[in-house]
Structure 1
């Protein structure tokens, strides 16, 4: 969004403020624990904000928007400067990597199940 764009002409992000806050934190690469430490709050506070059980006070919003590189209006209302989204290629590669890892774990689990089953049968406990 350029400086001359009126935020009220934008299509708002219809997620909740907690959802937007969570997405911005993830986009920044910070864990809830890291963000809590930087803000001087408990992790339970971050979790409450992200699950819409409470909202950060005005004194925390300015810090949050700076740390997460988003505008206060985006966190509260879904209009304004949002976190940059990862490129589709990056997302696809990340998903492919996770899928390969899951397939390996699935195969490993299958082998382990077979070994346990063989052991149980050998012991006569597989009946």
Structure 2
């Protein structure tokens, strides 16, 4: 979809009718074929709507809003009850980043090990333990 932005996903200024229709259809878990069949239109007709090459008639708009569980106003303008934006992808650390973190932890542990050894030595020599 062309209209995905980080600040205002599917905002009225960024998304087209076709973008919102496609997003709502995908959020509903429907294929183009399934939605076209349920609406009683040809697949090419639905594809034209999603591609902003044609607009549905009023009765089809109402049906689309109901089937996709969005408001008619959101479908037309992007304002009102619609779908949430895409969920952010989980951040994954690259293997190189994980390896760097492991090495940093190991270096820190080595430093702590040395400090512990010096403190233990000081205790045994001064305390007679």
TM-score by length of 1: 0.58
Q: What is the number of equivalent residue pairs in this alignment?
A: 82
CA distance in 1, matches of 2:44, 2:56: 12
| Matches of 2:32 and 2:64, distance apart in 1 | 12
Q: Which one has a larger percent helix, Structure 1 or Structure 2?
A: 1
Distance change in 2, residues 1:51/1:84 (3 Å):
same
RMSD of Structure 2 on Structure 1 (CA): 2.0
Q: Mark the runs of 5 or more structure 1 residues left unpaired by the alignment.
A: 1-10, 97-127
For residue 87 of structure 1, report the CA deviation from its aligned partner. Answer: 4.4
Higher relative contact order (CA 8 A, sep 6+): 1
For 1:85 and 1:67, the matched residues in 2 are separated by 19
Which aligned runs of 4 or more in structure 1 are off by greater than 2 angstroms? 11-14, 84-88
The correspondence of residues 102-121 of structure 1 with structure 2, limited to 5 A, is: none
Alpha-carbon separation, structure 1, partners of 2:63 and 2:87: 27
2:53 matched to 1:20?
no
State the secondary structure of the residue aligned to 1:56. Answer: coil
